[in-house]
Structure 1
Amino acid sequence: MVSSVCTRYLLKAASFFSLPVLDTRLQAPSDQKKKQKIQNKAGKDRWSTLEFRFYWVCFLIVVPLLYKAAIDASSSSNPNYVKYERLLSQGWLFGRKVDNSDSQYRFFRENVFILSIVLSGHIGLRKLIYFTFPKIKRNQFDVGFGLIFLFVVHGINAIKVFLHIVVMLAITRLFKNKFKLTLLLLWSYGIVSLFINDKYRNYRIGHLFESLSFLDPGFKGIVARWDVFYNFTLLRSLSFNLDYLSRYNEEQKKYLKKDEERDSNSGSIDSLTTELIMEERERMNATLNLEAYSFFNYIAYLTYAPLFIAGPILTFNDFYVQSIRTLPSINTKRNLIFGLRFLFCLLVMEFLLHFIYVVAISKTGAWENDTPFQISMIGLFNLNIVWLKLLIPWRFFRLWSLLDGIDPPENMIRCMDNNYSALAFWKGWHRSYNKWVVKYIYIPLGGSSNRILASLAVFTFVAIWHDIELKLLVWGWLIVLFLIPEYFLSGYFRKNHSEKWWYRHLCAAGGVLNIWLMMIANLYGFCLGHSGTSSFLKEIFGTIEGLKFFVVANIALFIAVQVMFELREDEKRRGIDVKC
């Protein structure tokens, strides 16, 4: 009886954290043949085997030790505490101090209440306007509220944002009859605009338009760094213009065909007002009226308040389709569950910031005489905080959008620690951005048939888009270099040895190597820096204690990867395969 009750609660908890509950795009296909095909690829259930029972015992022992090591490294009794204590603030949990030293997350944390008021005001105002003026269209409200929101966020710097997006629209409309030239000009200006903003982010409007020089001393908005959020506006601007260009090119090809063939196709322009498009891929490639790509819809899309600051990124075609017909995924129950998951992540972050001060430790390099285990946990929990500080704002803005009737993709679908493949990691991290680069860069450059060159172009753009720094560009190229062995080795062994008994264990060993490569690269780039990473490696390979830790860590990672494999096999048994 007790066992059945426990099982029932465990299944409910698993359902709460499942992929389909997070985003309906991640559920099993509605087509039973496709679902069955995925299920046929799944391996047998191993959860109840002796091997996996041993793994669960290891989890029960190891995971608490990970937290203990990180808490010990953050303890006030640690000799390094005095080096970073100044970066801590008074917290609200159990009288403890809080590590609020990360400026990026601090901005969100200190403004989440104000953002919640804006969210409520936006949703409430839309309902009031619709009730008062029943004939008002959705895009009319979006433009009105979006322009006000843009000015509040960026003040007079909104003019600089408008200048860029108008130039990109003008390029598309002026050269639309020369498809390849327009593509070249669009991408060139988009990338150049990032360099312009990086160098001249504080340039005065009066230098561009002397008659508007009186605006320069004016209100700069609540976010002075307009150029940072412009990066997301650039993606939306490119999406609108590339979708329009593709659609216009299709129409031009039709007119080149003989009259009777053209006539037979001319009635397919826009059935979206009567037909609900369920599949995301179909929405992204929907056949819209050319009138849908109007300047008014352009502004409604670019300034859509819930997704303006940081996304998630929704392509224009998908946004337009959803603005006409609300998807069934938008309902009170799903929104409530998503809201509870957001709250859960927010509380987890608060717990970490109150008990594990790894951000402050990393900023001050305060790990002298810590054990290799403790240094590795400083790095690991730092990476988890980097993951959470991005996930939480993204989920907040996605929740806002869901409550407003638009369903964008979920950006983070896997826990950061539930990754063993560099390739799969990038598919699940900032997923909406991944979908964007696949649609507009990877596939146009040949996709899997031209994988290395397409990947190089993708990561070059990703690096430049994130920041104009040489080290990020090198980082992007190194990612591609790290992916090449995985591309070829995984393909070779899957094709020739997937039925062998040792195949799963060989893949797990490869997963361990991948985790070390990803961890060291990210520790170097985002957490410990050169000195910290060097100290960590010297402690591991230069001391007996470090070598012991290295052996035990490899065993623990091997077990963790086996569990990750089984989690994905369990999803396949339910017809779910998100390929990451």
Structure 2
Amino acid sequence: MFKTAHDASSPDNPNYDKYKDLLSDGWFGYKVDNSDEQYANFRDNLPILVAVICAYLPLSHLFRQYFVPVSPLKSPLQPLYRTYFFLAFSIFYLYFMYGNSLFKILTIVSINFLIAKLGGASKWMPAATWTFNIVILFLNEAYAGYVFADLHKSLAWLDANTGVNNRWDINFNFTMLRLVSFNLDYYWALRQTPEQLKEEKDKTQLTDKERVATPSFVEDYIFLNYLAYSLYAPLYVAGPIMTFNDFVSQLRYPKHVPGKTLLKWVGRLAFSLLTMEFTMHCMHMVAISKRQAWDGNPILQICMIGLFNLVLIWLKLMIIWRFFRLWALLDGIEAPENMIRCVINNYSALGFWRSWHKSFNLWIIRYIYVPLGGTRNASYNIWVVFTFVAVWHDINLKLLAWGWLISLFILPEIIAGKIFSKKKASLETCWGNWPHYRHLCAVGAVGNIMLMMIANLVGFCIGVEGVKLMLGDLFSSFYGWMVMSICFCAIFVCAQLQFEVREDEKRRGIFLNC
């Protein structure tokens, strides 16, 4: 598989001239494919980000040592002292990043806070929150982050300073999730029943799930804490996403992050970065996909271009998310881990979305899926969920097609899970007692994997036309059918291995629920 993808990237390939201008000089005389704008932006600015972290962490820990009490802040009357430092540094950091566009960010954030405070426990507040934030997503896209001169000619001078990253609106999608989190957490805190208010918990011993679900003190939902949470520098650019309740809980009742855990994360991040560099030098999947440079390639090469495109997307996102999560961990804030499985260690569409961008998945479950009825209406609300996910990523037809394909492809798994249930059928007709039940599941897993690959290739790699070409070549020749048959057998074996990985996790007491 690796050799096939490498051969597709070789200078001897007839399509090489179509994309070679996208390649850069790399290590040891190799060309490197740094044409993915998202990862290139991270990779090129990595030295600056490391310098920022080296300046931030000593200041943060000195502030914590001299100004923050050692004991947990159990009373609502005790202010969260670290928010003063977080907010001060974040303002400086975001001005460096986005220049005068910081004023646009602060304006949107402030309006959202006013919606929360004016609405309070009123039923219209969640609707107003969702309407405002979704409208902002569309306006950001339509006006490309806005121009001060369009508001008034006298403000044109503000457009001269856009910082080191002039597209503040791209990263604002993550901020939008925090704005919704604050407003809805505040809404639910105000609507607690008397029984819930009387219930006493030792909040210093809350689990990760309890920190999210347990409302903070009403006194914590103030503008200072809201700004510190919304603009928190380590997680601002790319997440992972934390809820407001979780963030405040960790400030009131700090978690101890062992030094061994931090060293492990540094090592894993360094290994991932080196793996990415090796892959970018050995195969040029992104550049090939951008120029659709696969004319005349064997169908197996086209399939590997698509597959390794997905692998590279997984790897780049894992690196970016782990980098910023490590920054937060070093600061004493534990955000959820986003990538908890390798992209090719998934056989369930539902499980895939629990392990890919997990913090976003948890956010969706809390603020969209459960309010829409959860599993009771799963066949219906997944369409709402994935339409929102597509629009949140980017407002274009390709991603909408991806979102709807995912919704469509999840349905067979939901239906098959009900028909061939391992547990719910009577003992006489229980599918779990059938000797070949595992192999039946593996056949279903092959179908799931292929459908997920098709959907993600449409949304993030080769687009609708590329997928049409690939499927046309697969099903229009004997060689294509042979490749499909071999792929089916290979994925069938991989599914069996994935089943055993899950069983081994259970034996070791690890339950990832995906």
TM-score category of the 2 structures, normalised to the smaller one: over 0.9
Paired residue secondary structure (1:327): coil
Are the equivalent residues in 1 in contact too, given 2:26–2:281 (CA < 8 A)? yes
TM-superposed CA distance for 1:474, in Å, is 3.4
Paired residue secondary structure (2:265): helix
CA distance in 2, matches of 1:358, 1:468: 24
Tell me the equivalent position of 1:345.
272
Tell me the equivalent position of 1:87.
22
Are the equivalent residues in 1 in contact too, given 2:446–2:495 (CA < 8 A)? yes
TM-superposed CA distance for 1:266, in Å, is 5.6
What TM-score does the superposition give when structure 2 sets the normalisation length?
0.92
1:170-199, CA deviations, whole angstroms, 9 ceiling, x for partnerless residues? 111112142x21111111111111111111
Stretch of structure 1 that moved more, 552-561 or 120-129: 120-129
TM-superposed CA distance for 1:89, in Å, is 0.8
Tell me the equivalent position of 2:132.
189
Counterpart among 106, 109, 116 of residue 43 in structure 2: 109
CA distance in 2, matches of 1:575, 1:507: 23
Stretch of structure 1 that moved more, 308-317 or 241-250: 241-250
Stretch of structure 1 that moved more, 540-549 or 435-444: 540-549
Are the equivalent residues in 2 in contact too, given 1:89–1:98 (CA < 8 A)? yes
Tell me the equivalent position of 2:385.
458
Stretch of structure 1 that moved more, 229-238 or 540-549: 540-549
TM-superposed CA distance for 1:168, in Å, is 1.2
Are the equivalent residues in 1 in contact too, given 2:402–2:456 (CA < 8 A)? no
Rate the CA distance shift 1:478–1:365 in 2: closer, same or farther, 3 A: closer
Instruction: Give the partner amino acid of 1:172.
Output: A
TM-superposed CA distance for 1:364, in Å, is 1.7
Tell me the equivalent position of 1:231.
173
Report whether the alignment pairs 1:200 with 2:143. Answer: yes
Tell me the equivalent position of 2:231.
303
| Correspondence 1:137-536 to 2 at 5 A | 137-178=81-122, 180-205=123-148, 207-208=150-151, 213=155, 215-250=157-192, 253-254=193-194, 268=200, 272=203, 275-277=204-206, 279-328=207-256, 330-494=257-421, 495=424, 496-536=430-470
TM-superposed CA distance for 1:321, in Å, is 0.8
Paired residue secondary structure (2:513): coil
1:410-458, CA deviations, whole angstroms, 9 ceiling, x for partnerless residues? 1111101111111111111110000001001111111011212322221
CA distance in 2, matches of 1:134, 1:372: 62
CA distance in 1, matches of 2:110, 2:267: 40
Are the equivalent residues in 2 in contact too, given 1:361–1:367 (CA < 8 A)? yes
CA distance in 2, matches of 1:570, 1:505: 18
Tell me the equivalent position of 2:496.
562
1:287-339, CA deviations, whole angstroms, 9 ceiling, x for partnerless residues? 321111111000110111100001000001011111122223x1111010011
Give the number of aligned pairs.
497
CA distance in 2, matches of 1:473, 1:183: 24
Are the equivalent residues in 2 in contact too, given 1:571–1:577 (CA < 8 A)? yes
Tell me the equivalent position of 1:56.
none
Report whether the alignment pairs 1:76 with 2:11. Answer: yes
CA distance in 2, matches of 1:525, 1:133: 48
CA distance in 1, matches of 2:115, 2:140: 19
Higher relative contact order (CA 8 A, sep 6+): 1
CA distance in 2, matches of 1:211, 1:552: 64
Rate the CA distance shift 1:152–1:510 in 2: closer, same or farther, 3 A: same
Stretch of structure 1 that moved more, 135-144 or 106-115: 135-144
1:495-547, CA deviations, whole angstroms, 9 ceiling, x for partnerless residues? 33012111110111111111111112222332223443233223222222222
CA distance in 2, matches of 1:533, 1:67: 21
TM-superposed CA distance for 1:206, in Å, is 5.5
Rate the CA distance shift 1:266–1:376 in 2: closer, same or farther, 3 A: closer
Are the equivalent residues in 2 in contact too, given 1:204–1:213 (CA < 8 A)? no
Instruction: Give the partner amino acid of 1:321.
Output: S
1:318-368, CA deviations, whole angstroms, 9 ceiling, x for partnerless residues? 11111122223x111101001111111111111110001111111222222
1:66-95, CA deviations, whole angstroms, 9 ceiling, x for partnerless residues? 111111111122222222222111102x32
> RMSD value over aligned CA atoms?
2.0
TM-superposed CA distance for 1:217, in Å, is 3.4
Are the equivalent residues in 1 in contact too, given 2:121–2:187 (CA < 8 A)? no
Instruction: Give the partner amino acid of 1:502.
Output: H
Rate the CA distance shift 1:579–1:484 in 2: closer, same or farther, 3 A: same
Rate the CA distance shift 1:345–1:173 in 2: closer, same or farther, 3 A: same
Tell me the equivalent position of 1:49.
none
Are the equivalent residues in 1 in contact too, given 2:406–2:452 (CA < 8 A)? no
Tell me the equivalent position of 1:57.
none
CA distance in 2, matches of 1:243, 1:150: 25
CA distance in 2, matches of 1:246, 1:306: 27
CA distance in 2, matches of 1:457, 1:177: 25
Instruction: Give the partner amino acid of 1:248.
Output: L
Instruction: Give the partner amino acid of 1:204.
Output: V
Rate the CA distance shift 1:204–1:360 in 2: closer, same or farther, 3 A: closer
Tell me the equivalent position of 2:58.
124
Rate the CA distance shift 1:267–1:558 in 2: closer, same or farther, 3 A: closer
TM-superposed CA distance for 1:166, in Å, is 1.2
- Higher gyration radius (CA): 1
What TM-score does the superposition give when structure 1 sets the normalisation length?
0.82
TM-superposed CA distance for 1:248, in Å, is 1.1
TM-superposed CA distance for 1:202, in Å, is 4.3
Structure 1: gaps spanning 5 or more residues: 1-65, 255-260
Paired residue secondary structure (1:217): helix
Are the equivalent residues in 2 in contact too, given 1:540–1:546 (CA < 8 A)? yes
CA distance in 1, matches of 2:84, 2:316: 33
Instruction: Give the partner amino acid of 2:155.
Output: S
Instruction: Give the partner amino acid of 1:110.
Output: D
Are the equivalent residues in 2 in contact too, given 1:384–1:416 (CA < 8 A)? yes
TM-superposed CA distance for 1:491, in Å, is 2.4
CA distance in 2, matches of 1:382, 1:560: 19
Identity %: 46
Tell me the equivalent position of 1:99.
33
Are the equivalent residues in 2 in contact too, given 1:464–1:473 (CA < 8 A)? yes
Tell me the equivalent position of 1:23.
none
Instruction: Give the partner amino acid of 2:208.
Output: E
Structure 2: gaps spanning 5 or more residues: 70-79, 425-429
Rate the CA distance shift 1:83–1:471 in 2: closer, same or farther, 3 A: closer
Paired residue secondary structure (1:498): helix
Are the equivalent residues in 1 in contact too, given 2:182–2:244 (CA < 8 A)? yes
CA distance in 2, matches of 1:513, 1:117: 46
TM-superposed CA distance for 1:207, in Å, is 5.0
